Amino acid sequence: MQVEVKSGTDQYTVQQTRLQSVIEQVSSRDMIITDTNVLACYPALSNSKGQIISIPAGEESKSFVQYEAVVEQIFQAGFLRNGTVFAIGGGVVGDLAGFVAATVHRGVRLVQVPTSLLAMVDSSVGGKVGIDLSYGKNLLGSFYNPASVYIDPTVLQTLPTEHFQNGMAEVIKYGWILDVELLEILKKENFSVNSHNLEEIVFRCVALKRDVVEADFTEKSGLRAILNFGHTVGHALEAQAEYKNLLHGQAIAVGMVAEVAIANELGLSQIRTQDVESLFQQYQLPIRPTSYVNIDQLISLMLGDKKSTGNGIAMSLVLEPGQCKLVDNIDPALVRRVLANIWS
Ligand SMILES: NC(=O)c1ccc[n+]([C@@H]2O[C@H](COP(=O)([O-])OP(=O)(O)OC[C@H]3O[C@@H](n4cnc5c(N)ncnc54)[C@H](O)[C@@H]3O)[C@@H](O)[C@H]2O)c1
Ligand SMILES: [Zn+2]
């Protein structure tokens, strides 16, 4: 299976390839960047002809300190401009290694090899790379396309279940914003890492993301913002939880349910919240916050969301299944009322 992506003057292929054959492609000029968990599951990564840098697993590694450490190691290893960076891991590795590739020698060839479901269906496609700062997530980065993306769905066998569910939240999101048929398929089949047709779902999502980023690579026209359905509330929940004990997929599942209720209250949609909730429940994702939430603080965080232009709260709302639109200027009092109501 494969998907072609055209992005500005760049063009690359996302293709299904076994991890072993990726490892065999790595030359002595190249550098693999991975994390400790992925390396522990796939020790064969150490047998490639290239050198390897393994960062500690987890979001904390998407930091300036870790970026500097990786860059130091890259230069110490004598990495030259004609080398390729292979980012082999989840979204953390992809974002950090992508930013390293974008900046070392003012940009070297990057190959993305996503190993988590979230990275396969979302972060490895679209060219956003970067790191977190103490001021917030993903604040330092750039748009930097890979030369290729290789996906081996069999590596999902070793992905912890909660991270599989995390990725499923983004898969379900694609259904609600762009692809009603996908929602039906997800309802009918209970996908797990053992599903024989999992790659069909993965590549379907890759094609959907491709369509969006091809139309709006640098988030200028507003179309790319539809990928943010559930994310205004979700990001605020993650920030309030200080990114601990709450996975991104869990936060946006709660966020999608809430944002459907908000769209209904605004009179923009008539989607039954039970329909949204049931699919998340089917995939063991939460539909309400599982610990205490300070709604007033959440509203302040949402007012500061990058989609907001200064007046009210901005959200990418689903108007009907498969159709999503960025809505600006939503009254914070209405959002507060809806959240207090559905989370009481
Ligand atoms: N660039 C983008 O467009 C974009 C889009 C969405 C998310 N992101 C970023 O992606 C990050 C989240 O990505 P994630 O959910 O993949 O997190 P992650 O990279 O932390 O991976 C999740 C966990 O699974 C482990 N893991 C990954 N693949 C594995 C495998 N095959 N077997 C065993 N363990 C494996 C990792 O070590 C980690 O512990 C966030 O930093 C987020 O900001 C970026
Ligand atoms: Zn997301």
Same domain? 219 vs 297 = yes
pTM: 0.96
Which stretches within 4-90 are classed as H helix?
19-25, 36-41, 64-76
Same domain? 180 vs 277 = yes
Active site residue 288: no
Per-residue pLDDT tens listing for the chain (344 residues) = 999 999 888 999 999 999 999 999 999 999 999 999 999 999 999 999 999 999 999 999 999 999 999 999 999 999 999 999 999 999 999 999 999 999 999 999 999 999 999 999 999 999 999 999 988 889 999 999 999 999 999 999 999 999 999 999 999 999 999 999 999 999 999 999 999 899 999 999 999 999 999 988 887 777 889 999 999 999 999 999 988 889 999 999 999 999 999 999 999 999 999 999 999 999 999 999 999 999 999 999 999 877 777 779 999 999 999 999 999 999 999 999 999 999 99
For a mutational test of ligand 1's pocket, the pick from 36, 37, 145, 216, i.e. the residue with the most ligand atoms closer than 8 A to its C-beta, is 37
How many whole angstroms from its chain centre is CA 51? 27
CATH of the domain at 30: 3.40.50.1970
> Which residue has a Cα nearest atom 21 of ligand 1?
90
For a mutational test of ligand 1's pocket, the pick from 19, 95, 224, i.e. the residue with the most ligand atoms closer than 8 A to its C-beta, is 95
Number of domains making up the chain: 2
- Provide φ and ψ at 201, rounded to 5°: -70, -45
Apex CA 248: angle with CA 235 and CA 336, to 5°?
Answer: 35
Q: Around Cβ 294, how many Cβ atoms within 10 Å?
A: 10
Same domain? 28 vs 97 = yes
Spell out the residues 6+ positions from residue 267 whose beta carbon is closer than 8 angstroms to its own: none
Same domain? 17 vs 83 = yes
Q: Give CA–CA dist 192/282, Å, rounded.
A: 11
Walk across the sheet containing 51-55 and list its strands: 2-7, 10-16, 148-151, 109-114, 84-89, 31-35, 51-55
Active site residue 190: no
For 7, the domain range is: 2-158
CATH of the domain at 197: 1.20.1090.10
Q: Give CA–CA dist 10/198, Å, rounded.
A: 28
Spell out the residues 6+ positions from residue 308 whose beta carbon is closer than 8 angstroms to its own: 302, 314, 328
